[in-house]
Structure 1
């Protein structure tokens, strides 16, 4: 991996600064990096860490996949059929700014303290960015693609399958990347309130159980690392030939 030494240097400087600030402050509550490592080791030894990571990823996976299955086709239709966009866009713009966190009481009322509640919240957090990015991708598509396809006699189904979707895929992937980051944020917040497992629950439970801030920060570290891995995974999709053409090449 190119320039791996630069992130390592930044990480070392950050951890050194963190350790120095904690020591100089004389705090016996906020942990040092090494204490966080020991906290992670404790969670691994108890078999809790993997269990909570799997629970969080399970909820994000289902909520995010449902958002893709609904948001991408619906966004493409809205972008292609202007009367449909005129009908639905105002409602989308009303619901889109509402924080998914505001839906937590409603989710608990409808689904109770179950996995369905955070999945529903993740779906809400993801579906609007995905829909809007898919719609914008169609609207920003070069008209020459459509004219060329029409000249070759493609029908509407073939046009969507062979021209519109491939042309929109780079911008759709950008929307998916943004939506996935939002989904990961929301699942952590939802798990602090709506369920009794997952990394969000780990943080709030560690704070309540004797103020174990080493475990609190350990949970935060795992959230950040998994978020980084998820972002890298989505960016890997941009390397495929079907998508790469839509991005500017920068050396």
Structure 2
């Protein structure tokens, strides 16, 4: 057990050290000045400054608030819509082509309308996050509902399970892995577009921090913000995986 834990943490640490070394080698070989490509030490100093000054926590808190509101709304709407389309062939045939037409459009393409409708601030970012997460959740939920084992539905019919009992005991457990697959995809895409959304008219958040640092030509601060974006995107994904494990245990899997 101890050996396994050591390997689990040692190997990623070793990979990270190699990455830092290669990064520094690129600077040495290319003779890049900090104004073009800051080195690991300079970026580490910037990260430390953001932490001890508390500035990063202000921007991070705002970004997380926007993310969880937009992403949570996508789940609350996307999962029921997926259930409805997955259960009704009529609704599926009527609505699915329209959703497939809209799905490939980048959420940022809607930004002119989002700014016109919601102004500047948090709402445009939340709207873009919602759009980015909605479609993966909907389509994976549809797939999950349509892949529920037929014998489970026969058992439900024999037991006269209908309405909420059918969804709670048969459909939701049967489709859960696909739903979580959509949520994982939604986390990745919406966290990416969170930054893009905050670059459009926002005056706070991690995306704004990147724009502000870029305008001041503080590229070490840009890379610091990128580091925090990657770190917390990773932590959010791990949190979702942990919750998925807990729910799967409850289903006995």
TM-score range, shorter chain: over 0.9
**Within-5 A mapping of 1:27-42:** 27-28=32-33, 29=35, 30-42=37-49
Instruction: Choose 23-32 or 95-104, whichever is displaced more.
Output: 23-32
Q: CA deviation at 1:244?
A: 6.9
Partner of 1:115: 122
Q: Residues 40-189 of structure 1: matches in 2 within 5 Å? A: 40-189=47-196
Q: Distance in 2 between matches of 1:18 and 1:88?
A: 48
Distance in 2, Cα, partners of 1:233 & 1:170: 16
Q: Can you give the 5+ residue segments of structure 2 that lack an aligned partner in the other structure?
A: none
The range that moved more, 15-24 or 119-128, is: 15-24
Distance (whole Å) between structure 2 residues aligned to residue 235 and residue 244 of structure 1: 16
In 2, are the aligned partners of 1:129 and 1:179 still within 8 Å (CA)? yes
Cα deviation for residue 16 of structure 1 reads 1.0
Partner of 2:15: 10
* Partners of 1:170 and 1:243 within 8 A in 2: no
- Whole-angstrom distance in 2 between the partners of 1:33 and 1:244: 46
- Tell me which residue corresponds to 2:28: 23
* Whole-angstrom distance in 2 between the partners of 1:46 and 1:137: 46
What root-mean-square deviation, in Å, do the aligned CA atoms of Structure 1 and Structure 2 show?
A: 1.3
Structure 1 unaligned residues grouped into runs of 5+: 246-251
What is the TM-score of this pair, normalised by structure 2?
Answer: 0.93
Mapped contact 1:53–1:198 kept (Cα < 8 A): yes
Q: Give the equivalent residue in structure 2 for 1:219.
A: 225
Aligned to 1:238: 244
- The normalised TM-score by structure 1 is 0.93
- 1:248 corresponds to which residue? none
Shift of 1:242: 3.4
Structure 2 partner of 1:208: 215
